[in-house]
A and B are shown apart, each in its own frame.
Chain A
Amino acid sequence: MEAMTSLPLMTLMQLLFDTLLGFALLWLGWRALASPDLFQAIVLFIAFGLLMAIVWVRLDAPDVALAEAAIGAGLTGALLLTTLARLEAKNRSKSALEKKHKVWLMTENVKLKTASFLWLMVILMLLVSGLVYAVLTLQEQTFELQMLVSKNLESSGVSNPVTAVLLNFRGYDTLLEMSVLLLALLGVWSFGGIPKPHESLPGPVLNMLSRLLIPLLIIVAGYFLWVGSDAPGGAFQGGSVLGAAGVLLLLVGWRLCIRFVGLPLRIILVFGLGVFVSAAVVLIFLGRQFMEYPPSVAGALILLIEAAATLSIGITLAALFLVGRPEFRRHK
């Protein structure tokens, strides 16, 4: 009986919350794109990412929320900021010729002709109405696929359905996705060395903080990895937290010993993918399909693959933060 009376109120509250959150999201997105100052825009973008994470929680997607907070807001934000810092540093060092371009960088709008602007608006309006119409005509339904996931969950070796889908049912996607990540790093490295690492000594606060935080982050990464099989978490979340630890390390000026930059670093980077592929291939020789994990050992296998993946993802993300290849210095 109590539920009957409290239900409308709850729904109303919920509706209010949803509306507020939705509008806040749109507003932040718009501000991030329209703010005249790039630095401000990036900070707004990070805030936008954090808000997204809250939305994911609201939508019962805690795994996504973790990934968004760590990767979407955290690492993307860090990458954007460090890029901006590099661009600005160059801006300052260059003189009169660059002044004009600096104006370009800061004030961005290309002046569109009114006619083409109107056209653009019409097209965008069509897009919005089409999409909204399409979305609203979708009925509420539960699909066979979703039942299949829950039915096969037991034989997948893990109890978190998202992890099961990621690492087992649709593991091939994840394999390719890790390739994308590695590829991005390769691409970044192929552009050449780090453009003038302008070292600034970290302040004492950052130094202190990082000493506390880095071990903590590493432990958190391990925790995510471990609980990933039956609670929100997993290789990507763990990996990105590890990546964050790496970024922090790089921020306080810590650099890998030259000895490790060459082959050992590359081996760690491909380690995750390597374990993933070899596990899949070995199974072929054991008379199974590519990536068909036997249910009895699936849990252990997935944990192994995830552990390797976490390490590689973390290091790859941290390496991406450098925005360039660490210089190899060969003493021969």
Chain B
Amino acid sequence: MLSFLLPQRVKLLGLLIAAGVVAAVAALGWQVAELGAQRYAIGGWGAPLGIDLYADGLSLLMLMVNAVVCLGVSVYSTGYFNRAYFRRSRAIYFWPLWMFLWAALNALFLSSDIFNLYVTLELLGLSAVALVALAGGADALTSAMRYLLINLLGSLFYLLGVALLYHRFGSLDITILSQHIEPSPAVWVAMGLMTSGLLLKTALFPMHFWLPAAHASAPAPVSALLSALVVKASFYIFLRLWLEIFPVDSSVFGELLGVLGAIAIFWGGVQALRQTRLKMLIAYSTVAQLGYLFLAFPMASYFAWKGALFILLSHALAKTAMFMAAGNILHFGGHDRIQDFDHVVQYQPLTSAAFALAGISIMGLPPSGGFIGKWLLLEAAINSGQWWLVIIIIMGGLLAAAYIFKVIGYAFTQSRKSHQTRRVPIRMEWTALILAIAAILLGLIAPWPLAIMDIGLPFSGEAAG
């Protein structure tokens, strides 16, 4: 599951590896489901000395959604990077960079060592930056540059936190740290540092400013990945640290995160509504959807965590489908100005269906995955009597509905200007559609992922609270 990268830059090889990794994840999934959380000591040294890999329900779910999305993106890319005008000299670099990114994600979701996580974060960040820059335009390069600086800054904050934790407790392993942790100034400062670094990478309001440009200017499959998975990776680390290492009685801090999340939902929603370019709209929608993930922190209850995780999963699938659909539309008409859409529904029925279905999940209508996630969050909010959260969740859904219908509305109408159009490879349309359907299906098979979350559950202890 590491990067088995060889100099051959062949699509076939890429697809083979993709299939292999999916199979490996499936095997691991079976193992975790049957035997419970797994721990693997690399080099046979065991935790304090060596590095452990650790897979529980949380990491398994991340790996699975990762595998589904990445497989989708791999198939989609065989079409996308085939285009005549995408220079071959650039396109051949897509596959190795992409494999590095995927390997980094897998390594990240499996690691249980905070320094190892730092290295995977860097691997992830650098490959993501290189992929954004692949688009090659002035916009893409500038936003790639900013993205790189943000990434490095976030990593350094994180690393400084790691340094303090190590020197306080003498271990880098998450499980061992969680057994020894006790409040002290060093822990508080480390917590602050790591939190700011990771949240910067997760683009929580007000640290989201870099996200829309970077996500919108990248090539379509890359945008899909960035929005669907890369921001979630730092969120995943943050969640792990929060649940396992940091002292739990930090409710003021949780409230603050919740408020920031709420602002993100509003701000992202309103900004998305104001955008005139489709990809920018989708990118702002990501800012809003990330806000939901942080609503769970003030509640910190069993349902809230599950709800946030469920939103994370369904958003990953739906957002990938959306960016792919946007890529298809962009490729078809040569632009993504929402107002100038010309009978998109007629020409690209599959793509439009994908966009609409993904939209249902983003809005949180039943029976989609997004609905289940929001429902769980609502339930948690009502249970804990935090009514302001209820209002925010509902308002956020309405805003999402507004911006998605804006796009769909224009997709039906005729444009005043006519455009040159190009054929889109059919598999690019199908991949988008299948991922969108998966996002809906996630709602129908909800009990299953919810059960997986319970394996080696990091938040079971707080179920009562």
Contact = CB atoms under 8 A, between A and B. Distances in A.
B447 interface: no
Interface string A228-239: 000000000000
A270 B7 contact: yes
A137 B170 contact: no
Given A144-B170, A180-B126, A190-B133, A137 B184 contact: yes
A138 interface: yes
Nearest to B91: A190
B43 A183 contact: no
A291 interface: yes
Interface in B7-63: 7, 40-45, 48-51
A201 B101 CA distance: 40
A288 B44 CA distance: 8
A54 interface: no
B50 A169 contact: yes
A16 interface: no
Interface in A152-196: 152, 168-173, 175-177, 179-180, 182-184, 186-187, 189-193
A186 B99 CA distance: 12
A120 B170 CA distance: 33
Given A187-B130, A291-B42, A172 B116 contact: yes
B186 A169 contact: no
Interface in B161-213: 164, 167-171, 184-186, 188-190, 192
Contacts of A177: 119
A144 B48 contact: yes
Contact of B6 (A175, A189, A270): A270
B93 A133 contact: no
A145 interface: yes
B43 A168 contact: yes
Contacts of A186: 93, 96-97, 100, 130
B444 interface: no
Given A180-B123, A183-B130, A138 B43 contact: no
B120 A184 contact: no
Interface in B122-144: 122-123, 126-127, 129-130, 133-134
A200 B351 CA distance: 54
A285 interface: no
A191 B141 CA distance: 10
A298 to B, nearest CB: 10
Contacts of B126: 180, 183-184, 187
Interface in A277-332: 277, 288-293
A183 B44 contact: no
B246 to A, nearest CB: 15
Contacts of B93: 186, 189-190
B120 A289 contact: no
Given A135-B164, A190-B130, A293 B190 contact: no
A287 to B, nearest CB: 11
Contacts of A15: none
A148 B100 CA distance: 33
Contacts of B116: 170, 172-173, 176
B375 interface: no
B170 A145 contact: yes
A85 interface: no
Contact of B103 (A170, A179, A293): A179
Contact of B189 (A133, A189, A290): A133
Contacts of A173: 51, 115-116, 119
Contact of B2 (A263, A269, A277): A277
A173 B118 CA distance: 9
A130 B120 CA distance: 27
A190 B101 CA distance: 15
Contacts of A144: 48, 170
Nearest to B103: A179
A138 B50 contact: no
Contacts of A260: none
A292 B171 CA distance: 21
A289 B123 contact: no
A290 B170 contact: no
B171 A143 contact: yes
Nearest to A267: B7
A112 interface: no
A149 B49 contact: yes
Interface in B77-128: 89-90, 93, 96-97, 100, 103, 107, 115-116, 119-120, 122-123, 126-127
B5 interface: yes
Interface string B284-325: 000000000000000000000000000000000000000000
Contacts of A99: none
Contact of A137 (B43, B90, B129, B185): B185
A146 interface: yes
Nearest to A149: B49
B448 interface: no
A138 B168 contact: yes
A187 to B, nearest CB: 3
Given A173-B51, A183-B100, 19 more contacts: A135-B164, A138-B167, A145-B48, A152-B45, A168-B43, A169-B49, A172-B116, A176-B123, A179-B100, A180-B122, A186-B97, A187-B126, A192-B90, A263-B7, A270-B7, A291-B43, A292-B42, A292-B45, A293-B43
9 contacts: A134-B185, A169-B49, A170-B51, A172-B42, A176-B116, A176-B120, A189-B93, A190-B93, A290-B40
Interface of A: 130-131, 133-135, 137-138, 141, 143-146, 148-149, 152, 168-173, 175-177, 179-180, 182-184, 186-187, 189-193, 263, 266-267, 269-270, 273-274, 277, 288-293
